[in-house]
Structure 1
Amino acid sequence: MTPLADRYGRRFPYLRLSIIPACNFRCTYCLPHGYHADAGMPGPLSLDEITRLLRGFAELGMHKLRITGGEPSVRHDLTEVLRTAAAAPGVTRLAMTTNGTLLSRRLGEWMDAGLNAINVSVDSLDRATFARITGHDRLDDILHGVDMALAAGLSAVKLNAVLLKDVNDNELPRWLDYLRDHAVGLRFIELMQTGDNLAFFRDHHVSAGLLETELQETGWQALPRAADAGPAREYRHPGYAGRIGIIAPYSKDFCAGCNRLRVTATGDLRLCLFGEFGIPLRPWLQRDEQLDDLVRAIGGQIGRKEQGHFLHEGRTGITPHLASTGG
């Protein structure tokens, strides 16, 4: 096994695999008009194709896998996908990001299939604000599912909240009350510009650094970053059961610790969420004997990974919205 490394010395043990581009929410920052499939768009990878894809990445040192969408629970065979992913050689951590609409009903079977960590998108703890952002009044049921996940003993339960100026950026006191007795990892995510959301971005972007400064001034202490961690800068406080992570893509050196690659639902390798191109891997996923060719195809592309994104220049790459690439 030869671990993937780029020309800047970064290694990539972490794969984010989208299994479907569709989503059943209409989040204002992502799909405000709902999901609409492009005419002629190929279908998502099959279970056999996913199996071969994960074998290839395992050959290159992948051991942390996150299943994403769109919304992965929209896919009818999600449980089988999770079981397939958990059986992939070398995978020691199987996580999923979801909007949580099926969490309270399907958590048990997902865990039986091998899921051991979950991120749930909860952009507000205010019911009306949550409905305004997502287009669905489902907050109470989703938070019930989060409580079930905590009680079930998953190795990690995290909540994602996209910061939106004049919408939910005043909710830190409410979140702190929640974190006192909920042992979750809360992720505040700075709004990112994508191909479709420029006007929204200009109206609602707020620097995550402002929130980070507020945390530091009130006794929250930074934690060292784990080797296979995601991009969050994590904080803890002795008075709270939960932790807070800040994902600030516009901060200095954000990309220096990048350790993840992405594959879209149709099998395109994306070296960066905001990259200018995708590399189709599907041609090498049709037969078991193509494994060596797949590994060479992936390894041969890693040298094209840029040192950082170009969001500061307003360049969002080929990502029209976050659902298209799995966020």
Structure 2
Amino acid sequence: MSQLVDDFGREFNYLRLSVTDVCNFKCSYCLPDGYRPNGKPQFLALDEIRRLIQAFAKVGTQKIRITGGEPTLRKDFIDIIHAVKDVGSIHTIATTTNGYRLEKNAKGWFDAGLRRINVSMDSLDPKQFQQITGENKFHEVMRGIDAALDAGFERIKINAVLLKDLNDTDLPKFIQWLKQRPIDVRFIELMETGLGHEYFSKHHLSGETIKARLMAEGWLRQMPSATDGPAQNFCHPDYQGRFGLIMPYSKNFCATCNRLRVSATGKLHLCLFTESGIDLRDLLQHDAQQAELIERLHQQLHQKKSTHELHQGITGVTQHLASIGG
């Protein structure tokens, strides 16, 4: 099968697969009022997920990240890991989690085939962590990160959403934390969503300010690998860990886009901030539908735009990041 390529020559080898919208945290930049279901959610079943993964693998997908909401809330989370691992052409299996179940499950998930894990950790101060997430689980998440290190994950990343007047002064703490830990810490610029204009206006801060401070302290920019996407990564000879920046408002951010997203209800999203999604679920019911599913993927890529429209304040239909998996 031919590789997924859009009209701008970008190849898509990375799938971010949401398996649930549900989350048990109440992060101020995403779900400040907590998860509120719209009726009874009908998320993709395990068999539907298997068929989806198999189709994407046939068109060149090499990396799959299992996302949410909080993906580990699914009772069959470990079965989903197995389903990805069973497709031999998928080289990298990753997940993004708030870390609340990590301490008890890191070894089991690793044994199932999970190799990379991103933990949302917006502050190294327990009180500020609770202020941002709405949960008093700082120490629990920190123990989970240690458990992931002990389990042998090949890459552990800490995601911190950069928030002006909240955690933007935490950079020295994070840098010091990396001194003896082979972990990536990434500050992610706050992105405006449909429900977050006021919050965005109050707390958005350009990652360029952090980049300038890193460069001034001797951190060196690293070239990304084929599946890394648009993150800018920095290393320092005196530190075991790396620092990264994701800056969606920077120039040419979308030029290296290599990822597609499928929501927990089976909709293909060509961009985090555009259309309402293209339904794939009708083609996930039988194995015999694989060819038709793959053809739909190829057809829809012709609709992908060259860039998002965040600079114009156009956020699309995305109301909050938990609905697509970020």
Q: Pick the TM interval, shorter chain.
A: over 0.9
- Report the aligned-residue RMSD: 0.9
Q: Provide the residue aligned with 1:19 in structure 2.
A: 19
Distance (whole Å) between structure 2 residues aligned to residue 275 and residue 58 of structure 1:
24
Q: Residue type of the partner of 2:37?
A: A
Q: What's 1:129 paired with?
A: 128
Give CA-to-partner distance per residue, 1:264-306, whole Å, 9 cap, x none: 0000000000012310000000001000010001111011110
Matched, 1:214 2:213: yes
| Secondary structure of the corresponding residue to residue 302 of structure 2 | helix
Question: TM-score scaled to structure 1, two decimals?
Answer: 0.98
Kindly provide the amino acid, as one letter, of the partner of residue 303 in structure 2: R
**Structure 1 portions without partners, runs of 5+:** none
SS at 1:53 equivalent: helix
Q: With structure 2 as the length reference, what TM-score do the two structures score?
A: 0.99
- CA deviations 1:166-192 (Å, max 9, x no partner) are 000001111111010111011100000
Answer yes or no: is the 8 Å Cα contact 2:273–2:315 preserved in 1: yes
Equivalent position SS for 1:157: strand
Q: How many matched pairs?
A: 326
- Aligned equivalents of 2:175 and 2:228: distance in 1? 23
Say whether the 8 Å CA contact 1:55–1:89 is kept in structure 2: no
Contact 2:107 2:148 in 1 (8 A): no
Q: Does 1:305 align with 2:301?
A: no
Alpha-carbon distance between aligned partners in 2 of 1:153 and 1:73, rounded to the nearest angstrom: 19
Give the partner amino acid of 2:150.
A
**Displacement of 1:88 after TM fit?**
2.1
Cα contact 2:102–2:145 (8 A) shared by 1: yes
Contact 1:255 1:307 in 2 (8 A): yes
2:53 counterpart of 1:54: yes
Inter-partner Cα distance in structure 2 for 1:216 and 1:46: 46
Q: What does residue 226 of structure 2 align with?
A: 227
State the match for 2:177 in structure 1: 178
Partner of 1:30: 30
Aligned match of 1:145: 144
Inter-partner Cα distance in structure 2 for 1:241 and 1:143: 18
| Equivalent-residue separation in structure 1 for 2:301 and 2:149 (angstroms) | 37
Equivalent residue for 1:87?
86
Q: Secondary structure at the match of 1:316?
A: coil
The equivalent residue for 2:249 is 250
User: Which range moves more in the overlay, 25-34 or 101-110?
Assistant: 101-110
Partner of 2:164: 165
The residue that corresponds to 2:110 in the other structure is 111
Supply the AA of the counterpart residue of 1:9: G
Q: Distance in 2 between matches of 1:194 and 1:305?
A: 19
- Deviation for aligned residue 1:230: 2.8
Shifted more, 154-163 versus 105-114: the winner is 105-114
Aligned residue for 1:3?
Answer: 3
Letter of the aligned partner of 2:213 in structure 1?
Answer: E
Separation in 2, partners of 1:99, 1:299: 33
One-letter code aligned to 2:4: L
The answer as to whether partners of 1:234 and 1:246 remain within 8 angstroms in 2 is yes
- Is 2:16–2:259's contact at 8 Å kept on the other side of the alignment? yes
Distance in 1 (CA, whole Å) between partners of 2:284 and 2:275 is 23
- C-alpha displacement at 1:225, in angstroms? 1.2
State the SS of the aligned residue for 1:304: coil
Alpha-carbon offset, residue 231 of structure 1:
2.1
Relative to structure 2, which stretch is displaced further, 142-151 or 184-193?
A: 142-151
Q: For 2:100, what is the secondary structure of its paired residue?
A: coil
Q: Offset of 1:24 from its aligned partner? A: 0.2
Give, in whole Å, the separation in 2 of the partners of 1:95 and 1:208. Answer: 25
Q: Is the 8 A contact 2:16 2:260 kept in 1?
A: yes
Describe the superposition over 1:238-258 as per-residue Cα deviations: whole angstroms up to 9, x where unpaired. Answer: 111110010000000000000
Match of 1:295 in 2: 294
What's the offset of the Cα at 1:39? 2.1
1:151 CA drift (Å): 2.0
In 2, the alpha carbon distance for the partners of 1:206 and 1:63 equals 33
Alpha-carbon distance in 2 for matches of 1:296, 1:90: 20
Q: What CA distance in whole angstroms lies between the structure 2 residues aligned with 1:248 and 1:160?
A: 13
Moved more, 262-271 or 227-236: 227-236
The runs of at least 4 aligned residues of structure 1 exceeding 3 Å deviation read none
Q: In the TM superposition, what whole-angstrom CA distance separates every residue of 1:97-133 from its partner, at most 9, and x where no partner exists?
A: 0000000011122112110110000000000000000
Q: Distance in 2 between the 1:176 and 1:186 partners? A: 8
